[in-house]
Structures are given as C-alpha cells and as structure tokens.
Amino acid sequence: MKKMSKEKISISIDARGSHCPGPMMELIKAIRQAEVGEIVELLSSEEGSLSDIPAWIEKAKHELVDMIKEDGYNRFLVRKTR
C-alpha cells in the first residue's frame, strides 16, 4: 500500500524525466510563486533529488511534509513556511 498524504496541494510540478538541476530549479520556482503555508508537490525521477531536495528545504527553512517513494520516482510535499 502506498502512503497517501491528505495535505491539500496548491502547486504540483511533474519534473519526471528532467535531469539535474531541473527538479530542484522547478521546486524553487514554485516555492517563489506559492503563498506562505501552501504546499508544493514535486515529482522527480532524478536520483540526486533524494539528497538535494531535503538539504535545500532544510537550508531554506521550509518544511518537508512528506517524501513518498513511488514506482520509478519520488514525490516530495513541501510547505512554504516564510
């Protein structure tokens, strides 16, 4: 059973198939557009995202709400906190 998050998603980005630094840059763009408190969903099949995305979120002081392993890609849910 895949874990499902009940959070309401405001912006969703499908960066599957995109190479480094695509997914990271797409996420940053979406966080810029989002309002504080909103959740951004990022789908990425790029391996580096697994370490890079959480590290960036920590540095930028946003919140990693969930990181879900799907079939062939990862789903990140990120809350804009400031």
Partner 1 sequence: MNKIIVIGGGFSGLTIANKLAKKARKYKLDITLIEPKDHNFYEPDLIFYAFNNKKLSKLYKPMHKLVRKRVNHIGMRAKKVETEKKKVILEDGTELDYDYLVLATGVKYIEKDFKYSEQKHIHHFYSPPATEKFRQMIKRFKGGTIVISPSTVPYKCPPAPVEFTFMLDSYLKKRKLRDKATIKFLYPLSVPFTVKEAAVVVAEMYKKRGIEFVPYCNYEKVDIENKKFISFEGEEIEYDELVLLPIHEGQDIIKESGLGDKEGYVPTDKFTLQVKGHPNIYAIGDCTDLPTSKAGAVSHYSAPTIVKNIINQIKGKEASAKYNGKTICFLVTSYQKAMMLDFSYNHPSRKYGLIPMRIYMLFKRLFRFLYFHILIKGII
Q: Phi/psi at 37 (nearest 5 deg)?
A: 100, -20
Binding mask 43-72 for partner 1 (x = CB under 8 A): -----x--xx--xx--xxx-----------
Q: What angle do CA 13, 58, 70 make, to 5 degrees?
A: 40
Give catalytic status of residue 20 as yes or no: yes
Q: Report which of 78, 81, 10, 20 is spatially closest to residue 52, judged by C-alpha positions.
A: 20
Figure out which of the listed residues 25, 69, 70, 81 binds partner 1, where binding follows CB under 8 A. Answer: 25
Nearer to partner 1, 5 or 38 (CB): 38
- Which residues lie near partner 1 (CB under 8 A)? 18-22, 24-25, 28, 32, 48, 51-52, 55-56, 59-61, 82
